[in-house]
Structure 1
Amino acid sequence: MLAGKRILLVIGGGIAAYKSLDLIRRLKERGAGVRVVMTAAAQHFVTPLAAGALSHDRVFTELFDREAEHDIGHIRLSREADLIVVAPATADLMAKMAHGLADDLATAVLLASDRPVLLAPAMNPLMWANPATRRNAAQLAADGIAFVGPNAGAMAERGEDGPGRMAEPLEIAAAAERLLAPAGPLKGRHLLVTSGPTHEPIDPVRYIANRSSGKQGHAIAAAAARAGAQVTLVSGPVSLPDPAGVDVRHVESAREMLAAVEAALPADAAVFAAAVADWRAASEAAEKMKKDGGTLPPLTLTENPDILATIAHLSNRRPRLVVGFAAETQNVVTYAQAKRARKGCDWIVANDVSQRSGIPGGVMGADSNEVHLISAEGVEHWPQASKADVAERLVGRIAAALGPLEASA
């Protein structure tokens, strides 16, 4: 919880600013004291009166305020907070932060602070994908700035859809709790996790998929968050709730998953637990394919991108530790060892997903798992346990492999 914590909320100028009013309420529900700084643009979307009524404190808007600046108020604001949250973090605000500009109260406070900062980006998908924004986001991440979101979905602009929606207030509050929680073994680390199946469309009705439930990948993401990591979870279609304190990117196909994974880099470690479809239809039919007198329609397959191998072979943004999964029905260890060498990853977590696995109904969709951890040092056989316990053990091994943050700096 955030009891007794002081949070400075910087509201940027975007349509998502209306969510920041609910965020104030969510933070205060958790016991935090909230002060608000609003940019000039933010005041076109929500009013200082509304923010002040919810925060029960004065709202700060001007750098050259005669009442507040007699004692260098922007310095005081930056130092009296335990955490600074920027929501929405617009492309403009992120650019100013990345380049050290301080031409208004919000940017002056951010530049003058030595406190942790959490950004909740919100902008049009093309703005988020723009190379300039990607460079700024990478620079801010390298500077130690934490991110939550953006999420994918419909935009305020009619017909626009994609990554760029501000994270929901509950997600931001959970991320704030994680940042201010006592240090865990992965505090300050960024872990990237993939989970679930992918759906590869054949026509508007049918798709190629597999039986992955996402339970193991989601359990790994949740365990990493509990260990103090900043976690980005790229999830295929599952029926599971998003893990608390985790930045979740929802995708459908293998190509969407690869794009989301690449956008989430850099990361200290990446765990590829998703069961990505190996193939997709070479061309997706625009209309539902109909039976035609018993004649089978042609279905030509093409290979999907290999997400694990792609990331494992990166030259400059490769995570220090890349972990793959191997779901096999025979020769489990032998096939997994070959896969580790072929893909170029550091570890492979292999499991038997056949009906011979000893797990009633098979591993996929079950709540337990029995795995082998395969590395350059050899093979470790882990006994059958709940997927949550497997996740905790794996996350513990990841923390030990990465070592203390200070030692690797």
Structure 2
Amino acid sequence: MGNSTLRFSKSFSTYFSIALICLSFLTLKAQEQMDLRELDGLNCTANDVEVLSASLGSTTCPTCTPGETITEELFITIRHNTNSDRPALAILGDLTVVDMNGNSTTTVFARCSGPIIPKKNINDNIPVGNGGNGVQTISYGEITFECGSQFTLDNILLVWTVPSDPDCPIPASDPPPPSKCGAPGISLEITPPLSAVATAECSGSDANVDLTIVGGEAPYSYTWTSLDSGFTSSEEDPQNVPQGEILSVTVTDSDGCTTTTSITTPICFVCPTLTNETADFATCEDNQGQTLSVQTDIPDIDIEFFIFSSQQGDPYVGGGTQLGTAVTPSGGTATSSTGISGLTPGTYYSYAILDTDDPDLIDPDCKPFAEIVINIDEELSPTFDAVGPICEGDDLSALPTTSTNG
């Protein structure tokens, strides 16, 4: 699922590089700053300075590859509501970073930079002679992080100076007066470079894709393609996609910034079912040769037939006698390659199982089977009560019609 954070507007981004050049001669180098939130007696109620947004990356469309460690410059956009000169602005808060795996770390962010240009002399980060709106972007130094991480600055305190004060850092000898600090407790999401990462998983027999977007400016558009099958999609998370292929996606945010990523989709395995097996039957010891059969809904996996002298809870454990060789289903039906033979009188249990050596059987827990009960009856050899010798030409009509053993 994609998500967005605060970011420069498109019109602002257009002037961003020019503005940095224009302001470079004025901007201080960001410095580490004592966390002034620890001071007693703070009563910050002024609204001379407001924080509007923050972004990582000095280019108009910063992008990165998820998982790589990168270092980017942090720019914070403010609005100055007075026409006073402010040599320095300290921004203090708790910086929480959540990486791609959901691991969260929180550290103190305490940095000072500046100067803050009088409101009338800055307009959307462009120096002007008069009539400005006070919107200015200031660098607060570099941050090293893993691409794909998300950032939140909480419990923010802003502390600024007056024209007679020195540059950064702002000293902590005395609590700043209410007129020189403000915005206590606000929260700010920092927009990281635009990145995207895709995953693909099986849901039954379908392969589905999940795309995660970090950074940039929503809404996003998506262009999925596959060179293998010609598959295309404009959905964020396409479902039932081609399997075993490389799918590539280009993500475009509302500012026209783009990033790309790709994923190899899995081949989804569905465990076959074995049904409509040969019905249980009985036959005489001297009347064997019957073949056995079973139906399957997955024709790509071979079937084997085994015969046991006792009923099995798991016929895959071995110990039975294989009936012929493994057979490939035809038309959804697998028939044993040979018929039963050589079975002495008794009850037997035959099982149709999957050929565990078949390379298409990729799930070791897939073990369906079908059971067929076979009863072998004893062959009868009739004997008659003694009637004396029978010779050629004798009248046989006098022989008994039943035997003593049935």
Q: Output the TM-score relative to the length of structure 2.
A: 0.21
Greater C-alpha radius of gyration: 2
Instruction: Name the one with the larger helix percent.
Output: 1
Query: Which structure shows the higher strand fraction?
Result: 2
TM-score (norm 1): 0.21
